[in-house]
Amino acid sequence: MEELVKQPKIIFLDFLRPSESEILVKLSNPIIESFCQHIENLTIVFSDINDSKEVKNFLNSLDLPEAQMKTLRSFFLDPFQTSFSYGYEEKEFVFIQLEADTPLLNPENNNGFLGLLTHELLHSVQRQRGIEVRLKASLARTLTFFKDLADLIPSENFSKEIVYKFLTDISQMALYCLKDIYVNVEMMKRGLSDSLLEYYKIELGYGDNNAIISPPSFGDPFIKGKIRTDDLEEFARAFNYTVSLIPIWLPSMVLEVDSRNYSPSRELKHYVFDRYYVNPSLITREMWHLENIFLTSFSFSRGFHLKWFGAIFNLALEYILGEDFVFYHLSKATELIETVFEEKEGEEAKDRLNAAIAPILKAAYLHGKQYPSGIQKHNFDALAAMMKSYHIDEEEIAELDESIMESEDLTHAQFFENLLKVSIMILTQDLREVVFSNQETEKDIARAILALLQAINYLGDECDAKYYHSIRLTLKQLLRSESDFKQKQLAIKLEILGKTAIYSSETEPTVAEVEEMSFNLDFFEVPLSNNTIELGIEFIRGIKIVLTKVPHTNPEFPILAAQFANIQLADAKINEEEEEQINMILVSSLVATKGVPFSKIQRVMSNFLPSDNEEKE
């Protein structure tokens, strides 16, 4: 006969004693019971988070070694720790700390309560599987590496002992964060996303207009590269606070992109960023690097543990030492692209390399001009040398400076984004080529694109959500795919996404514009084939892109519109009959594009392809 696992011991302290019967009803949920069955020697303690007197008495009654008791007591002193799970040998404890007015005890919030309790119970389940031992081993190994790295830091900035203490101070939160991520990932895979999101919404006051949001204050803003020894303790608190919120938004944003929880989880992420990350906002922007690590490498393996802890420590050191992570991602993308092209020969490969890298260097220049603080001189020097080597001359640099000074319609972030999208569009075409030719360089190109996406996100969340997450998810699948057929399917999808990368929503043809263009094609007796319609739509996009740069009143507009149309035509696959109608297709697009007066049509055409008469001459 199979031996039954003992039921957990449940203890109610403080104000929660009167709620004992209703909480026991909640605990009878089959999902909670199924988790409890896997945990022997389990004690669940419900207590008041604002009154630790009875908790202290309870802890004193436990038969634990003093070192373990000291660790356990520290959880109750941690300002960023609420409910938590703790284990020692075969004993497991789940501490549920609540406030007297918590909505989690209301009957309509049973799903949120389920999310809280299953989250904490899963910590015990995963700990009994041995995950905590492996995580602590990986953390110790990473700390040893970064302790050695501290020897390289100039002593006039920080002594290695101070840096090591700082890394130790942030190491525990890095550990807790990864443990929470693993639990939340498992909850989602078990179909418990709804209850997890509901719990976080209640905990954070999402949708409650009366909720008091009080994120901790950290004094003056932290400026990258200007943090000194006296600031390190407060910076460590701010850093830990920022890291502590990552498990709320990161797993759902990456794993649930295609699910019905995508929109709610994205809304919750924005809520966290807007309401809780207010004070250490500069640190928050750097957290996109951790998302990149998660996206490309997530697993339960030691390899991912080491990447995660390394990324956390590297991020902190980059901040206190003054490195800029936008520059980091742009330089990383450039390095990967150069790696891809270094073995290729010929002018075509050289031109493609220049076309992909030049926009990245221009974007880096724009960023450095806009946000010079925190970017070290050696970064500026390296950028200047690269711009020279890729033939970005003084005239082009002057145009970049002018775009910063005189822009009315586009923000700096939008200029930056558009430049990187040009590079992404080129790289996606290269990625498809290497996938179809079974070359190993596909991973370098994919990671270069990811680096560019990360750089875009450091400057804000202005990138089109549907495009950004679609291309990111496709890259993630491509990087992890083992099926050659699946890889090729994803490569085709990615190229389509990449080709539209340069087009923001304001440059996408409207339904009315497409209908007007089709009417004019028919009026000019142009064959209404898929090719002619698609080319006409491409022309509209190009014209609208030019309009975002220069108004139609600018004398440069006809020239730029014609040049853009010539570029688009070069990539078009059309037959001889359609080729005879090219001028009329462009005219139809000009007529249809909102904002282009008829008086400009002939001026654009005069800069377009030569007429039949000119060709005969």
pLDDT digits (tens, 9 = 90+) for 315-364: 888 777 776 667 877 888 899 899 888 877 788 888 888 889 999 999 99
Pair 474, 543 in one domain: no
- Over the range 22-54, which residues count as b (16 or more CB within 10 Å of their CB) and which as e? ebeebbebeebeebbeebeebbbbbbbbeebeb
Q: Which domain holds residue 598?
A: 506-616
Per-residue pLDDT of 532-588, as tens digits, reads 888 999 899 899 988 887 888 888 889 889 988 888 888 787 787 788 788 889 988
Q: Which of 104, 123, 142 is the last residue of a domain?
A: 123
Pair 55, 184 in one domain: no
pLDDT at residue 116, rounded to an integer: 92
pLDDT at residue 150, rounded to an integer: 72
Q: Does the pLDDT at position 2 exceed 50? A: no
Pair 263, 216 in one domain: yes
Distance CA 341, CA 345 (A): 8
**Number of domains present in the structure of the chain:** 4
pLDDT at residue 462, rounded to an integer: 54
SS3 350: helix
Percent of the chain with pLDDT over 90: 8
CA nearest to 261, candidates 269, 295, 481: 269
Q: Which of 321, 355, 381 is the last residue of a domain?
A: 321
Q: Which of 321, 350, 372 is the last residue of a domain?
A: 321
Pair 334, 352 in one domain: yes
Percent of the chain with pLDDT over 70: 88
Pair 141, 115 in one domain: no
Q: Does the pLDDT at position 1 exceed 50? A: no
- Token pair 């711009």 is at which residue? 387
Per-residue pLDDT of 93-115, as tens digits, reads 888 888 777 888 888 888 999 99
Per-residue pLDDT of 136-145, as tens digits, reads 988 988 888 7
Distance CA 463, CA 479 (A): 22
The dihedral sign for the CA sequence 108, 111, 112, 114: positive
Of 18-22, 393-397, 436-440, 518-522, which has the strongest mean pLDDT? 393-397
pLDDT at residue 611, rounded to an integer: 44
Q: Does the pLDDT at position 373 exceed 70? A: no
Distance CA 310, CA 138 (A): 10
Pair 177, 316 in one domain: yes
Pair 135, 259 in one domain: yes
Pair 386, 425 in one domain: yes
pLDDT at residue 451, rounded to an integer: 83
Q: Does the pLDDT at position 258 exceed 60? A: no
pLDDT at residue 458, rounded to an integer: 65
Residue 438 · residue 484 · CB < 8 Å = yes
Pair 106, 144 in one domain: no
Pair 314, 330 in one domain: no
Pair 99, 142 in one domain: no
Pair 364, 472 in one domain: yes
